[in-house]
């Protein structure tokens, strides 16, 4: 079985993230969406809320599993038997950043392959950071989030 891990903070989970998972389902038998806990990052939404949103987005897709993790992504791949790390690219800056991480991950465990997919053009300008700013300042964030997320967005 070809299992891909899609790691991220997903604060919040966006239409761009949704697009990457859907593309991953075309390539892999299973996509594990791993919501990372990062002590150095201050998130707007708590872990339970973020996991609930993602689970609701894929409630009718049994090939998507949603879980949480902390620590090194490459180690978590081994825990869930993922031999691929799925990453989305919006810009050349994303590519440079992701390439560095992929090279280190390949050194740590050559059996896990990083796979990059391009996000749709309409998602390239939107990041979770931009959406958090819209939420904080009363902007219209709804077009950038799946319906499962826009229903009950409440900052922590």
How large is the average pLDDT for residues 55-76? Answer: 96
pLDDT of residue 132: 93
Q: Which pLDDT does position 154 carry in this prediction?
A: 60
Is 34 part of any domain?
yes
Predicted confidence at residue 118, as pLDDT, reads 94
Structural domain including 141 reads 3-150
Can 128 be counted among the known catalytic residues?
yes
Q: What is the pTM of this model?
A: 0.93
- Which pLDDT does position 28 carry in this prediction? 98
Residue 23: active-site member: no
46: three-class secondary structure by DSSP: coil
Task: Tell me the CATH number at 101.
Answer: 3.40.50.620
Q: Is residue 101 part of a domain?
A: yes
Kindly state the average pLDDT of the residues 6-25.
Answer: 96
Catalytic pick from 23, 87, 90, 119?
90
Convert the pLDDT of each residue in 87-140 to its tens digit.
999 989 889 999 999 999 999 999 999 999 999 988 888 889 999 999 989 899
For residue 142, being part of any structural domain is answered with yes
The continuous run of DSSP H or E covering 123 comes out as none
Of residues 12, 6, 25, 48, the one with CA closest to residue 146:
12
Structural domain contains residue 155: no
Q: Which of 17, 23, 50, 87 is catalytic?
A: 17
Known active-site residue 17: yes
Number of domains within the chain: 1
Q: What is the pLDDT of residue 153?
A: 59
On whether residue 131 sits in a domain, the answer given is yes
Assigned domain for 100 exists: yes
How many residues belong to the chain? Answer: 156
Q: Does a structural domain hold residue 156?
A: no
Q: Is residue 125 domain-resident?
A: yes
């Amino acid at each position: 079985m070809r299992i891909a891990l899609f790691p991220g903070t997903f604060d919040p989970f966006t239409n761009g993230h949704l697009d990457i998972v859907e593309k991953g389902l075309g390539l892999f038998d299973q996509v594990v969406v791993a919501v990372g806990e990062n002590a150095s990052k201050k998130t707007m939404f708590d872990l339970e809320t973020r996991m609930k949103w993602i689970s609701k987005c894929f409630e009718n897709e049994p090939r998507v599993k949603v879980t949480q993790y902390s620590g090194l992504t490459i180690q978590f791949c081994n825990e869930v038997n993922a031999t691929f790390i799925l990453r989305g690219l919006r810009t050349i800056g994303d590519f440079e950043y992701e390439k560095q991480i992929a090279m280190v991950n390949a050194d740590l465990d050559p059996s896990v392959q990083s796979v990059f997919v391009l996000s749709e053009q309409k998602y390239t300008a939107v990041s979770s950071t931009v959406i958090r700013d819209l939420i904080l300042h009363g902007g219209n964030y709804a077009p950038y989030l799946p319906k499962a997320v826009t229903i009950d967005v409440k900052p922590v």
